[in-house]
Amino acid sequence: MEINSLFKELLPKIEQRLDTLIPDNGEKYSAAKKAMRYSLLSGGKRIRPVLLLEFYKLCGGEGENALNFAAATEMIHTYSLIHDDLPCMDNDDMRRGKPSCHKAFGEDTALLAGDALLTLAFSSAAKTEKIPADRVLRAISLLADNAGIDGMVGGQVMDLEFEKTGAEPDELKEMYLKKTSCLLKAAAVCGCVLAGADDEYIKYACEYADSLGLAFQIIDDILDCTADEKTLGKPIGSDEKNGKTTFVTLYGIDGARKKAAQLSENAENLLDNFEGDSTALKELTKYLLNRRY
């Protein structure tokens, strides 16, 4: 499937489910709900829910039964962006071409909006229907592990520490595997688990997401140096401003791009281990390598 066809098929379903799961229902808690909807429904590539839905399909899942879980991955991703933009973290004023949540609603409301999205994510995932409860329970546990202190949050902690101390190549790789790959891994693996895939397929999905996540973050490093702010939708040069060690500072732009291409190729090759049609996932992998925002 061509990448535009994939997005055309899945994105409207994802957007509708996100809107349904966080309705704008009047004045109660209005500031926080407006902030949640502002950040969650402000666009974005929706890579994590697309990954989950495609791995679910690849492993034999049918219909739209995994949509709630796919939406949950996007809620967790969005909460992490809200918190990442706060002055105590990266202190970024723009996100997806709009003022960051804390710039639009204030730091206190943005903090609570992020907290609420994280909580809503697990509530939404738990409401998954027409999939055996043991699969849903296992997927929820995997999502929590990859989003928490041993996963994405742990990577964010390392990121903050490395701003002060710098990072060696192995440390930087470990940080990227946690900060970026873990939530992508959660999406891919949860799609497999919800579809009832065996442990071998789950292992390949893990390895795929690790390679994809490293490539994705390296491209982010490159874009932070080379993209224009309007296209990227957020400030450029943030890594240098915050004193971060990146693959670009270690290997240069050409070296970083070469590493990203190698990782992306490895991710594509891992998809050959699945019996189903992985064409769409391969196209998505290529798209992420060549993205400009």
Report the C-alpha gap between 14 and 16 in whole angstroms: 5
Alpha carbons within 13 A on the beta-carbon side of 45: 16
What integer pLDDT is reported at residue 292 of this predicted model?
Answer: 85
Using left for φ > 0, alpha for ψ between -120 and 50, and beta otherwise, residue 63 falls in left
SS3 assignment, position 90: coil
What integer pLDDT is reported at residue 218 of this predicted model?
Answer: 97
What integer pLDDT is reported at residue 2 of this predicted model?
Answer: 83
**pTM score:** 0.94
What CATH number was assigned to the domain covering residues 3-289? 1.10.600.10
Nearest of 209, 213, 214, 178 to residue 192 by alpha carbon: 209
Using left for φ > 0, alpha for ψ between -120 and 50, and beta otherwise, residue 108 falls in alpha
Question: Which stretches in the chain have pLDDT values below 50?
Answer: none
Are 65 and 100 spatial neighbours (Cβ–Cβ below 8 Å)? Answer: no
Report the C-alpha gap between 127 and 17 in whole angstroms: 13
For 24-83, what is each residue's pLDDT tens digit? 776 666 899 999 999 999 988 999 999 999 999 999 998 899 999 999 999 999 999 999
- Positive or negative, the Cα torsion across 25, 29, 35, 39? negative
Look up tokens 């495609």; give the residue.
Answer: 54
Report the C-alpha gap between 164 and 224 in whole angstroms: 20
Nearest of 190, 192, 163, 187 to residue 175 by alpha carbon: 163
What integer pLDDT is reported at residue 241 of this predicted model?
Answer: 65
Domain boundaries, given as residue ranges, for the chain? 3-289
